[in-house]
Amino acid sequence: MIKLIVGLGNPGSQYKKTRHNAGFLVLDRLDSSFSGSWRLESRFNSEVSEVYVSGCKVLLQKPLTFMNKSGDAVVKLAQYYKISPDEILVVHDELDFDSGVARLKKGGGHAGHNGLRDIIQKIGSRDFYRLRIGIGRPSQGKDVANYVLSAATASELSDIQDIADRVEALLPEIVKGDIVRLMTEFNSRDK
């Protein structure tokens, strides 16, 4: 069962619609769709919302620690609510997938993603679920940091919203923990 969904991104209006904030964008959609209400929780260095999905309470978290320190916020909230790594779903941008492609998976490495690297280090486990949202790679010779921190195009934002639609539709099943079966269904529906 998923009890915590973490969206990765950077705080501040200058990052709001950047590629690196795909996780925040999806969580904003889930918060709205499931009648949540973001509140600042300084003890967790996060914005947190509580939603109910098919009668199950799920916490949504947007760490306000900047991407490379996301683990600090995640571990504080997970420890406080006694949430184990296998009850966590992290939603994040993925350079290795084209825009519009998303994949659910459990475990694995960080593949150079600083937010994942910090979460793995701080919670001491790789055994959490991930929703990887494709943002594509910059063209040869372009700086990756500038690319991920640049504003997403209208087409890329539309792709992220399409993925958010899919997550919203499947969230009751995701929350109830049938993720292994859903991986096949979700992962095969890319555009």
Q: Domain ranges in the chain? A: 4-187
Ranking 19-23, 88-92, 175-179 by mean pLDDT, the lowest is 175-179
- Per residue in 101-136, pLDDT (tens digit) is 999 999 888 887 889 999 999 999 999 999 999 999
For the question of residue 92 being annotated catalytic, the response is no
Q: How confident is the model at residue 94 (pLDDT cuts 50, 70, 90)?
A: very high
Neighbouring CB atoms inside 10 A of 187's CB total 14
pLDDT band at 12 (very low <50, low <70, confident <90, very high): very high
pLDDT tens track for 39-48: 999 999 999 9
Note if the pTM is more than 0.75.
yes
CA distances from 93 to 34, 42, 81 (A): 22, 25, 26
Band of pLDDT at residue 92, cut at 50, 70 and 90 = very high
- Looking at residue 150, its pLDDT comes to 94
Identity at 89, one-letter amino acid code: L
Superfamily of domain 4-187: Peptidyl-tRNA hydrolase (3.40.50.1470)
Catalytic residue (one of 20, 92, 110, 113) = 20
Q: Residue written as tokens 């690297």?
A: 117
Residue 57's pLDDT is what? 96
Residue 175 C-beta-side C-alpha neighbours within 13 Å: 21
Q: Is 181 left (phi over 0), alpha (psi -120 to 50) or beta?
A: alpha
